[in-house]
Chains A and B, each alone.
Chain A
Amino acid sequence: MPQYKAPLRDINFVLKNVLNANEHFASLAGREEVSEDLLDAILSEGAKFSENVLSPLNQVGDQEGCVWSEGGVKTPTGFKEAYQQFAEGGWPSMTADARFGGQGLPNSLGLVVTEMVSSACWAWGMYTGLSQSAARLLENYASEDLQNEYLPKMTDGTWGGTMCLTEPHCGSDLGILRTKAEANADGSYNVTGTKIFISGGEHDMMENIIHLVLARIDGAPAGTKGISLFLVPKFLPDADNNIGERNGVSCGSIEHKMGIKASATCVMNFDGAKGFLVGEENRGLQAMFHMMNSARLGTALQGLSAGEASFQGALEYARERLQMRSLSGPKNPEGPADPLIVHPDVRRMLLTQKALAEGSRAFIYWVAQLVDTFYFSGDEQARKDAEELSELLTPIAKAFVTETGLESANYGMQVFGGHGYISEWGMEQIVRDLRISTLYEGTTGIQALDLLGRKVMGTGGKQLMVFTKIIHKFCEENASNPELEPFISKLAELNKEWGEVTMKLGEKAMQNPDEVGAASVDYLMYSGYISLAYMWARMAAAAADGAADDEFLKAKLQTAKFYYDRLLPRTESHKLSMLNGADSLMEMPEEAFAF
Chain B
Amino acid sequence: MPEYKAPLRDMQFVLHEVFKAEQLWQNMPGTEEVNRELADAILEESAKINENLIAPLSQSGHEEGVKWDDGVVTTPKGYPEAFKQLAEGGWGGLAGEPNYGGQNMPKMLVLLFEEMLYSSNIAMGLYLTLTSGAALAIDNHASDDLKEKYLPNMYSGQWAGAMCLTESHAGTDLGMIRTKAEPQADGTYKITGTKIFITGGDHDLTENVIHLVLAKLPDAPAGSKGISLFLVPKVKVNDDGSLGERNGVNCGSIEHKMGINASATCVMNFDGAEGYLVGEINRGLQGMFTMMNYERLSVGIQGLSAAQTAYQWSCEYARERLQSRAPTGPVNQAGPADPIVVHPDVRRMLLTQKALVEAGRAFAVYVGKQLDVSKFGDGDAKAAAAGMVELLTPVAKAFLTDKGFEGTVLGQQCYGGHGYVREWGMEQLVRDVRIAQIYEGTNGIQAMDLMGRKVAANGAKNLQALIAEMRAFSADSASVAGMDEFLNPLNDAVDNLESLTKFVLEQAGSDANAIGAAANEYLHVMGFTMFSYMWAMMCRTVLSGESQQGEEFDKAKLQTARFFVQRLLPQASALSASIRNGSSTLMDIAEEAFV
In whole angstroms, what is the CA distance A585 to B567 when docked?
Answer: 9
**Residue A35 lies at the interface, judged by CB distance under 8 Å to chain B:** no
**Distance (whole angstroms) from the CB of B433 to the closest CB of chain A:** 11
Contact B567 A514 (CB under 8 A): no
CB-CB nearest in chain A for B412: A435
Instruction: Name the A residues within 8 Å of B443 (CB-CB).
Output: 414
- Describe A's contact surface by its main secondary structure: helix
CB-CB nearest in chain B for A417: B171
Contact A171 B351 (CB under 8 A): no
Contact B257 A421 (CB under 8 A): yes
**Residue B345 lies at the interface, judged by CB distance under 8 Å to chain A:** yes
Instruction: Name the A residues within 8 Å of B563 (CB-CB).
Output: 584-585, 588
Contact B578 A354 (CB under 8 A): no
Contact A170 B417 (CB under 8 A): no
Contact A337 B258 (CB under 8 A): no
**Residue B403 lies at the interface, judged by CB distance under 8 Å to chain A:** no
Instruction: Name the B residues within 8 Å of A574 (CB-CB).
Output: 570
**Residue A431 lies at the interface, judged by CB distance under 8 Å to chain B:** yes
Instruction: Name the A residues within 8 Å of B516 (CB-CB).
Output: 327, 343-345
**Residue A420 lies at the interface, judged by CB distance under 8 Å to chain B:** yes
User: Which residues, 346 to 365 on A, are CB-close (under 8 Å) to B?
Assistant: 346-351, 354
**Residue B562 lies at the interface, judged by CB distance under 8 Å to chain A:** yes
Q: Give which listed residue, A171, A421, A584, contacts B567 with CB less than 8 A.
A: A584
What 1/0 flags go to A285-329 for Cβ under 8 Å of B? 000000000000000000000000001100100010011100111
In whole angstroms, what is the CA distance A517 to B338 when docked?
Answer: 15
Instruction: Name the B residues within 8 Å of A440 (CB-CB).
Output: 417
**Distance (whole angstroms) from the CB of B338 to the closest CB of chain A:** 9
CB-CB nearest in chain A for B316: A594
Contact A581 B438 (CB under 8 A): no
Cβ-Cβ contact count across A and B, 8 Å cutoff: 293
**Residue A341 lies at the interface, judged by CB distance under 8 Å to chain B:** yes
Known: A171-B323, A517-B327. A328 touches B315 (CB 8 A): no
**Distance (whole angstroms) from the CB of A552 to the closest CB of chain B:** 7
What 1/0 flags go to A564-592 for Cβ under 8 Å of B? 01110111111011001111111110111
**Residue A449 lies at the interface, judged by CB distance under 8 Å to chain B:** yes
Contact A173 B324 (CB under 8 A): yes
**Residue B143 lies at the interface, judged by CB distance under 8 Å to chain A:** no
**Residue A520 lies at the interface, judged by CB distance under 8 Å to chain B:** yes
In whole angstroms, what is the CA distance A516 to B323 when docked?
Answer: 18
**Residue B470 lies at the interface, judged by CB distance under 8 Å to chain A:** no
**Residue A333 lies at the interface, judged by CB distance under 8 Å to chain B:** no
Contact B559 A344 (CB under 8 A): no
Instruction: Name the B residues within 8 Å of A417 (CB-CB).
Output: 171-172, 438, 442
**Residue B10 lies at the interface, judged by CB distance under 8 Å to chain A:** yes
Q: Give which listed residue, A173, A256, A517, A555, contacts B344 with CB less than 8 A.
A: A517
**Residue B48 lies at the interface, judged by CB distance under 8 Å to chain A:** no
Contact A569 B581 (CB under 8 A): yes
In whole angstroms, what is the CA distance A554 to B594 when docked?
Answer: 11
In whole angstroms, what is the CA distance A424 to B176 when docked?
Answer: 24
Q: Select the residue from A171, A259, A312 with max chain B CB neighbours within 10 A.
A: A171
Q: Give which listed residue, B337, B515, B562, B577, contacts A327 with CB less than 8 A.
A: B515
CB-CB nearest in chain B for A350: B594
CB-CB nearest in chain B for A509: B327
User: Which residues, 406 to 428 on A, are CB-close (under 8 Å) to B?
Assistant: 406, 410, 413-414, 417-418, 420-424, 428
In whole angstroms, what is the CA distance A197 to B259 when docked?
Answer: 23
**Distance (whole angstroms) from the CB of B303 to the closest CB of chain A:** 14
**Residue A143 lies at the interface, judged by CB distance under 8 Å to chain B:** no
CB-CB nearest in chain B for A514: B344
Instruction: Name the A residues within 8 Å of B259 (CB-CB).
Output: 421
Contact A577 B570 (CB under 8 A): yes
Q: Give which listed residue, A7, A258, A590, contacts B319 with CB less than 8 A.
A: A590
Contact A432 B442 (CB under 8 A): no
Known: A328-B512, A420-B438, A514-B328. A347 touches B586 (CB 8 A): yes
Contact A572 B577 (CB under 8 A): yes
Contact A580 B552 (CB under 8 A): no
Q: Give which listed residue, B169, B416, B448, contacts A439 with CB less than 8 A.
A: B416
CB-CB nearest in chain A for B519: A345
User: Which residues, 461 to 496 on B, are CB-close (under 8 Å) to A?
Assistant: none
Q: Select the residue from A410, A423, A445 with max chain B CB neighbours within 10 A.
A: A445
Instruction: Name the A residues within 8 Å of B173 (CB-CB).
Output: 322-324, 337
How many residues of chain B have a CB within 8 Å of chain A?
Answer: 104
In whole angstroms, what is the CA distance A585 to B341 when docked?
Answer: 11
How many residues of chain A have a CB within 8 Å of chain B?
Answer: 108
Q: Give which listed residue, A7, A258, A319, contacts B427 with CB less than 8 A.
A: A258
Known: A584-B567, A588-B351. A418 touches B345 (CB 8 A): no
What 1/0 flags go to B416-444 for Cβ under 8 Å of A? 11011111000100110011011100111
In whole angstroms, what is the CA distance A512 to B327 when docked?
Answer: 9
Known: A348-B520, A417-B438, A513-B327. A562 touches B422 (CB 8 A): no
**Residue A559 lies at the interface, judged by CB distance under 8 Å to chain B:** yes
Q: Select the residue from B9, B416, B582, B592 with max chain A CB neighbours within 10 A.
A: B416
In whole angstroms, what is the CA distance A523 to B586 when docked?
Answer: 28
In whole angstroms, what is the CA distance A592 to B347 when docked?
Answer: 12
**Residue B1 lies at the interface, judged by CB distance under 8 Å to chain A:** no
**Residue B447 lies at the interface, judged by CB distance under 8 Å to chain A:** yes
**Residue A502 lies at the interface, judged by CB distance under 8 Å to chain B:** no
Contact A448 B257 (CB under 8 A): no
Known: A417-B172, A432-B258. A569 touches B574 (CB 8 A): yes
CB-CB nearest in chain A for B314: A593
Q: Give which listed residue, B170, B258, B345, contacts A431 with CB less than 8 A.
A: B258
Instruction: Name the B residues within 8 Å of A517 (CB-CB).
Output: 327, 343-345
Q: Give which listed residue, A259, A345, A521, A561, contacts B520 with CB less than 8 A.
A: A345
**Distance (whole angstroms) from the CB of B220 to the closest CB of chain A:** 15
**Distance (whole angstroms) from the CB of A263 to the closest CB of chain B:** 11
Instruction: Name the A residues within 8 Å of B104 (CB-CB).
Output: none
In whole angstroms, what is the CA distance A119 to B11 when docked?
Answer: 45
Contact A565 B578 (CB under 8 A): yes
Known: A436-B420, A517-B344, A585-B344. A414 touches B442 (CB 8 A): yes
Instruction: Name the A residues within 8 Å of B444 (CB-CB).
Output: 343, 345-346, 349, 414
CB-CB nearest in chain B for A558: B589
Known: A327-B516, A572-B574, A594-B312. A565 touches B442 (CB 8 A): no
Contact B435 A421 (CB under 8 A): yes
In whole angstroms, what is the CA distance A571 to B337 when docked?
Answer: 34
**Residue A483 lies at the interface, judged by CB distance under 8 Å to chain B:** no
Contact A418 B197 (CB under 8 A): yes
Q: Give which listed residue, A166, A323, A421, contacts B258 with CB less than 8 A.
A: A421
In whole angstroms, what is the CA distance A35 to B430 when docked?
Answer: 47
Contact A256 B422 (CB under 8 A): yes
In whole angstroms, what is the CA distance A436 to B426 when docked?
Answer: 13
In whole angstroms, what is the CA distance A580 to B570 when docked?
Answer: 10
Instruction: Name the B residues within 8 Å of A319 (CB-CB).
Output: 591
Instruction: Name the B residues within 8 Å of A351 (CB-CB).
Output: 585-586, 589
Instruction: Name the A residues within 8 Å of B348 (CB-CB).
Output: 518, 521, 585
Q: Give which listed residue, A349, A354, A421, A582, contacts B434 with CB less than 8 A.
A: A421
CB-CB nearest in chain B for A595: B9
Instruction: Name the A residues within 8 Å of B319 (CB-CB).
Output: 590, 593
**Distance (whole angstroms) from the CB of B568 to the closest CB of chain A:** 7
Contact A166 B345 (CB under 8 A): no
**Distance (whole angstroms) from the CB of B556 to the closest CB of chain A:** 4
Q: What residues of chain A have their CB less than 8 Å away from a CB belonging to chain B?
A: 7, 166, 169-173, 175-176, 197, 255-259, 265, 311-312, 315, 319, 322-324, 327-329, 336-337, 339, 341-351, 354, 406, 410, 413-414, 417-418, 420-424, 428, 431-432, 435-436, 438-440, 443-445, 448-449, 512-518, 520-521, 551-552, 554-555, 558-559, 561-562, 565-567, 569-574, 576-577, 580-588, 590-595
The 3 closest A-B pairs by CB, nearest first: A344-B516, A517-B344, A576-B570
Write 5 A-B pairs (CB below 8 A) sorted by A numbering: A258-B431, A323-B172, A573-B572, A573-B575, A576-B570
- New A-B contacts (9) at CB < 8 Å, excluding given A171-B323, A515-B344, A585-B351: A322-B169, A323-B173, A345-B447, A421-B258, A423-B257, A439-B417, A569-B577, A576-B570, A576-B573
